Amino acid sequence: MATRSPAISSVRSVTRQPLISPVWSRRIGLILLQILMTVILISFLVPTLWMISSSLKVSREVFAHPIVWIPESPQWRNYLKIFEVLPFGKFAWNTVVVTGLAVLGTVVSSLTVGYAFSRLRWPGRRFFFALMIATMMLPEVITLIPRFLVFRWLGWIDTFLPLIVPYWAGASALYIFLVHQFFRGLPMELEEAALIDGANRVQILTQILIPLSKPVIATVAVFALIQHYNSFLEPLIYLNGMDKWTLALGIRAINDSNVQNWELVFAAGTLMLAPVLALFIVAQRYFVQGIAMTGFGGR
């Protein structure tokens, strides 16, 4: 029987070796992925950066060609002019009141209703949970007229109540679903041990579950804050007097009254963006963790 030559075996073993080791192939893949993600991130940030840059320009530089990215002489006074054109401070305060109370109501109602659906056993629980999930498929415009008629009958038009009260009554099915999914991931042994020690349901929710729910609370709070902070349609329908307008309506008014001074519109938009951006940076760790732990993280 013929034997293989050592030289031939060594040549074959050399040819079988990959040109790039698996470790380096993974590193190169990660580098290429980082480059791709950086390019995508920059493409998303370009409009925002242009808005911030334009807020410091004079009128002739806003739509200059080629684009002027760095103003020749930054006009910081543009931010002061906003408060001279319209009561921008009043709009900001109204937004703080409406957004703060609506976000607080969303978090409280989502925690209580989510707890009832996920940890309690009562007749019709699954039916009503499915009915609540089904409401997520209804476009908001379908319920717009009935809600307006109800609020008009209650005498709530031109008040903040239509923008706040519904969210204290569990009007946000998505956030309830997020809390429900998170609570289902917590061990039942914690609740059983608390019941044996004599704790009631309110104590279990407030002293055991809520301290463990910081990620989902941060997630719901950030989502709800962005929703209420940027809301335009509902304030437009329910608020008539300018003294009750929010920032979304105020920026629209600045846009209508300063079509020749776009730098003021961009300055107002930058001021409106800053608080949300700062909050997202602060709560990013809890936000990402909450998304991962409520079933939207690819699990």
Beta strands in 122-247 (DSSP E): none
Under DSSP, the state recorded for 66 is S
Q: Using the predicted structure, report yes or no on whether residue 241 has a pLDDT greater than 60.
A: yes
Confidence of residue 289 (pLDDT cuts 50, 70, 90): low
pLDDT tens sequence across 167-211:
998 778 888 888 888 888 888 888 888 888 887 888 888 888 888
pLDDT at position 108 is 92
User: Which homologous superfamily does the CATH classification assign to the domain defined by 79-293?
Assistant: MetI-like (1.10.3720.10)
Distance in angstroms (rounded) separating the CA atoms of residues 47 and 45:
6
DSSP secondary structure, 9-41, as one string: HHHHHHHHS-SS-HHHHHHHHHHHHHHHHHHHH
Place of tokens 């031939």: 8
pLDDT tens sequence across 81-111:
888 878 888 888 999 999 999 999 999 999 9
pLDDT tens sequence across 125-171:
889 888 888 888 888 888 888 899 999 999 899 899 999 999 998 77
Domain boundaries, the chain: 21-77, 79-293
Confidence of residue 287 (pLDDT cuts 50, 70, 90): low
Place of tokens 């109602």: 109
